[in-house]
Amino acid sequence: MVGEGVFTAGVVRDLARLHGVEMPITEAVCSILAGATPREKLDELMSRPPKEEVE
């Protein structure tokens, strides 16, 4: 079985950080790949305050 994006998730996260782009789902995926529980990350994502997509 192949996990699509396992090897590129960290690269995407690092590029987003470098360019000041907030990517909470990518951050959560990287945390899960590093051992965090999906439930914990889902709760964090769902508790984020809503905001406009374009600022």
**Is the pLDDT at 1 greater than 70, yes or no?**
no
> Is residue 55 included in any domain, yes or no?
no
13 in a domain, yes or no?
A: yes
Range of the domain at 26: 9-46
Asked if residue 4 is part of any domain, the answer here is: no
6-52 pLDDT tens trace: 989 999 999 999 999 999 999 999 999 999 999 999 999 999 999 88
Which position has the token pair 């959560």? 28
Instruction: Count up the domains in the chain and report the number.
Output: 1
Encoding tokens for residue 22? 């907030």
CA 7/CA 49 separation, integer angstroms? 30
**pTM for the whole structure:** 0.84
Output the furthest CA–CA distance in the chain (Å, rounded).
40
Confidence of residue 55 (pLDDT cuts 50, 70, 90): low
Does any domain span residue 52?
Answer: no
| Residue 25 is assigned to a structural domain of this protein | yes
Asked if residue 17 is part of any domain, the answer here is yes
Q: Is residue 21 part of a domain?
A: yes
